[in-house]
Structure 1
Amino acid sequence: MKLKLTASLTLLASLAAGIVLATSPASPPAAGEVPAMKARLATRAGLVAVSSAGETYVAVGDYGTIVRSSDGGNTWQQAATVPVSGLLTSVSFADAKNGWAVGHGGIILVTRDGGETWAIQHTVDDKPVLLSVHFTDAEHGFVVGAYGTALQTSDGGKNWEPMQVGEGRDADLHLNHVFSGPSGTLFAAGESGSAFRSKDGGLHWERLNTGATGSLWSGLQRKSGQVLLLGMSGKVLESTDLGDHWKSLETGTNQALTGGVEKSDGGLVLVGTGGAIVTDKDGQLVTGIRDDRQNLAAVASGGGNLILLGQNGLIKDSQTH
């Protein structure tokens, strides 16, 4: 049966929409795959996720685009070798050298040199859309995706084993983001207001009562220990007890919130569709809208800059908002 492209995948695709001006491939394609092409304007491709590899930022997105910056986001270079040209949806580094990226076609990529060169490490059976990868160290990693797809590894990705997150009716829910909370707790945010928690390194998961009904796109842990979940209609949920209880924070926007970061000074920055940028001011969340109103997927903070990722690529924003 042909699978329906649901709202969550449609949103992800729209965030990744971009144009790559490509030249010839830098290396022969892997079996069954076409490698990403070198592009003069790679930073203008649709980019949807970013991770720090030591002092380097690595961002991924459409057409197999992977770009790197070692100067706080001021300048970017395209990775030398990427063996796929499909949409990459997530990237995670365990340290300055070892990183993983996932995306369409059930692809899991690995790098051992800080994101300069990549190889296919694993392809998930049935080639589902993978939406998030998260490594807690160089050995232990987790991948989640569409229709309840979830895997884990304890040997740096040499072997990947299925991981049961949702049960019963929850088993087929899209899992949009997996991340760490306090005390080694793992969280997964999903569609229809679903969120799950594991206190034993991914062996067992339980559904949490978020009180939300719309899809939850991502989450993060604040330095003070709170866990946030971000979702449709400007939804921000906060928990101070590892997810046992959640309260909804007012943001003043109905735009979907898709990513966030806590800056070195403790300030919070959340981004979303329609150019929405949410910051905390005097204990309250305040929303501003960028003039270009482009959909934003993720944000990083470094070198005094905000690095915004969206449908038109990378934006370096020195404003404090």
Structure 2
Amino acid sequence: MSKLKNVLMGSAAALMMAGIASLPAQAVPTVNQEEAAQIRELESKGWATPSDLAARSLLVAAADLGERIVAVGQFGHVVISDDRGETWRQASQVPTQALLTGVYFVDDKTGYAVGHDAVIIKTEDGGETWELKYSDPEAEMPLFSVMFADARNGIAVGAFSTALSTTDGGETWNLQSVIPDPPPPLEGLEYEPHLNGLFRGPSGSLFIAAETGFIFRSTDNGANWEPIKTPYFGSFWGGITLNDGSILIYGMRGNVWRSDDGGTTWAQVDTGSRKSFGGATLLEDGTVVLAGLNGGVAYSTDNGRSFDVVDRPDRKGYSAVVNGPDGHVIIFGEPGAVKHPDNAEAFRSGS
């Protein structure tokens, strides 16, 4: 079995792969001869092709640009909404058909997406068109997350401790070591843990959510990383920094952990749920919303000290969430982009 097959269960994005087999085949809309020729040309180049179901099939990650939301997923799909998720359209030029698993925007125009085949693509027009900047299919090292410290310096991370960094705005990428060599004598630290999710911490720090209860912290814009062991021994898929400076990390089996000292020490938050969480967002009123597998959505109104978890009847897997139209968030996963109430009371009342 290849390394790629071994890693498919290593992140929130990868867990969603289990649902692909049950999804409908990619639909090709009714087109005229000129449009059909264009689709054939895109397919021959290995580019993402137009699909009426692009916003209703597997979407793994999303970026909130304010007025615009950009989401990415299977078949190289990139979809865009300019009305907070009410309607969606597909990006016109995406030079890959790989599963895209992470997306990050430096500003409202410049953004990056990463995925399987170690693909890194870049946009300079808000997600409408993209250019291929890096790809290494033979390495079988899918990338899961990407983040930039500033306009020029960024990092992408993924399976088997893969990390790629850039210092020229994503034009070139080079392998970077995140795991110290030799690894420090920390119980449970694997030599090549999957690096699942990048997120920004307080005071300019950066974090990577990883496996076996580890996170990695950088205080120098990603040049060097310090492994930190939490009391948990499972996988973390992501994290978020709250308005009061505290940090939440989340992952397998309902695990949410909170730090009040910049990530040095961690305490478990009792979510009352065994559902794994893969994505988070912070609303304007300070509410934290987590989205996860089996239709689980969790809300916190006390800076992550407690959560109210609801179960969507669709029982689908979700791996990302952003603020949506009034009274709603948009969650992303197996069914694509889905509008969902932004508080537990509204969900339970059916509003």
Q: Which range, TM-score by smaller chain?
A: over 0.9
Deviations 1:260-304 (A, max 9, x none): 111011011001111001111565211110111111111001332
Q: Secondary structure at the match of 2:152?
A: coil
The residue number in structure 2 matching 1:59 is 71
Separation in 2 of the partners of 1:233 and 1:104? Answer: 25
Contact 1:26 1:81 (8 Å CA) reproduced: no
Deviation at 1:122, TM superposition (A): 1.3
Q: Which residue of 2 aligns with 1:311?
A: 334
What amino acid sits opposite 1:158 in the alignment?
Answer: E
Q: Secondary structure at the match of 1:297?
A: strand
Report the equivalent of 1:88: 100
The reply on whether 1:137 has 2:150 as its aligned counterpart is yes
Contact 2:299 2:343 in 1 (8 A): no
Aligned residues: 320
**TM-aligned CA distance change 1:119 to 1:27, over 3 Å:** farther
Distance 2:311 2:206 in 1: 32
Higher helix proportion (structure 1 or 2): 2
- Closer, same or farther: CA 139–16 of 1 in aligned 2, 3 Å: farther
Structure-2 separation of matches of 1:53 and 1:26:
29
Q: Which amino acid aligns with 1:285?
A: F
Give 1:29 deviation, angstroms: 4.7
Question: Would you say the 8 A contact 2:85–2:337 is kept in 1?
Answer: no
Asked if residue 183 in structure 1 is aligned to residue 220 in structure 2, the reply is: no
Tell me which moved more, 267-276 or 133-142: 133-142
Q: In the alignment, is residue 284 of structure 1 matched against residue 306 of structure 2?
A: yes
State the match for 1:266 in structure 2: 286
Give 3-state SS (helix, strand or coil) of 1:274's partner: helix
Letter matched to residue 253 of structure 2: S
**2:263, 2:308 → 1: CA distance?**
24
Provide the C-alpha distance between the structure 1 equivalents of 2:254 and 2:45, rounded to a whole number of angstroms.
38
The one-letter code sitting in structure 2 at the alignment partner of 1:86 is A
Residue-by-residue CA offset, 1:49-75 (whole Å, 9 max, x unaligned)? 000234210000011111001111111
2:174 to 157, 161, 170: 161
Q: 1:246 to 1:16 in 2, by over 3 A?
A: farther
CA distance in 2, matches of 1:244, 1:220: 15
Q: Is the CA contact 2:16–2:317 (under 8 Å) kept in the aligned structure 1?
A: no
Report the secondary structure of 1:14's partner residue. helix
Residue 22 of structure 1: aligned partner: 28
Code of the aligned partner of 2:212: S
Letter in 1 for 2:10: S
Contact preservation (8 Å) 1:15, 1:297 = no
Query: Which has a greater percent of strand?
Result: 1
Q: Distance in 1 between matches of 2:241 and 2:110?
A: 22
| C-alpha contact 1:163 1:202 (8 A) present in aligned 2 | no
Equivalence for 1:214: 234
**Given the two structures, how large is their TM-score scaled by the length of structure 1?**
0.93
Closer, same or farther: CA 68–265 of 1 in aligned 2, 3 Å: same
How many Å separate the matches in 2 of 1:306 and 1:237?
A: 23
Do the aligned residues in 1 keep the contact of 2:55 with 2:79 (CA within 8 Å)? yes
Query: Which residue of structure 1 lines up, in the alignment, with residue 214 of structure 2?
Result: 194
The superposition leaves residues 212-250 of structure 1 with CA deviations (integer Å, 9 ceiling, x where unpaired) of 111101111112211111111100011111111101001
Residue in structure 2 matched with residue 73 of structure 1 by the alignment: 85
Preserved CA contact (<8 Å) 1:177 1:190: yes
* Structure 1 unaligned blocks of 5 or more: none
2:159 aligned partner:
146
CA distance in 2, matches of 1:52, 1:140: 20
Give CA deviations for 1:72-93 in whole Å, capped at 9, x if unaligned.
1111111011111120000000
Report if the CA contact (8 A) 1:26-1:80 is conserved.
Answer: no
The SS at the match of 1:284 is coil
TM-score of the two chains, using structure 2 as the length reference = 0.86
User: Counterpart amino acid of 1:306?
Assistant: V
Match of residue 315 from structure 2: 293
Q: Residue 37 of structure 1 aligns to a residue in which SS?
A: coil
**Percent identity of paired positions between Structure 1 and Structure 2:** 38
Greater Rg by CA: 2
How much is the aligned-residue C-alpha RMSD, in angstroms? 2.0
- Asked whether the 8 Å contact 1:98–1:114 carries over to 2, the reply is yes
1:5 aligns with 2:21: no
SS across alignment from 2:160: helix
1:197: Cα distance to partner? 0.4
On the 8 A contact 1:107/1:127 being kept in 2, the answer is no
Match of 2:47 among 35, 56, 71: 35
User: How far is 1:141 from its partner?
Assistant: 1.2
